[in-house]
Structure 1
């Protein structure tokens, strides 16, 4: 059975087999959590992403984690939907991000994974709705992953994710 926990912290310092980055389609790095992960992993991550991408919204792809410390084996890149009001398939695409990341983690043999709040930054997805989708999808997706950590970068994100986890 998968255990889901919410943590306030920095995803780049997580001790999991894989961490997820909320990537752009190029997989070559961006801003926000993606930029932080790319800076921590080193320039090899962007080169590996460029060789692998592009990645469509709702999909996920893995690369080595390179220089991340503490050591992480894999970075799973997923491209969230850009919020356009909710009537353009955004909820389905966001749920697909979480499902696909778990599928990729299973293919890699990862037993633990850390997720940021996907698409809630520059892509503008409403944080409350995103938290609900994240928790529901992670709880309802069959996986061999034993530990899922939802990493909140601030108190407001933590409160939303922890509230959803307690409510579902």
Structure 2
């Protein structure tokens, strides 16, 4: 599958079932399906424990988010069941725990605790935070420019007259 499908379409866990649970109508009963195993089938590698404090803290964050007790520092976040929403939560947890801002892009590029710990240590060594774009202040002395949505509402008000719709 990895040769023909993009990464996000390749299942991270395969389960063998004797038969699929069915509803009385003969459809698959998704609620009755067993929860997948924590580790993908055929995953017989040894878990590598965190080597330093940063990796240990990241391991704890990953364990809590992915609900897995043991994670190797070389396991891929997405192979363990992570997805884009969890990646966003991960970035926020890293900020709260380590006081380092990392872009979500880094989770998609690094994918492992080891790679992420290296990036966090580099950010700490630089001592710089990613620049946040400042929102420019607009002068309030004259008329303000309307957004497209506001222009539309103004136009409808002029077309139909004052009404209770808006």
Fold match by TM threshold 0.5: no
- Identify the structure with bigger relative contact order (alpha carbons < 8 Å, sequence gap 6+): 1
Q: TM-score normalized by structure 1?
A: 0.25
- Which of structures 1 and 2 has the bigger CA Rg? 2
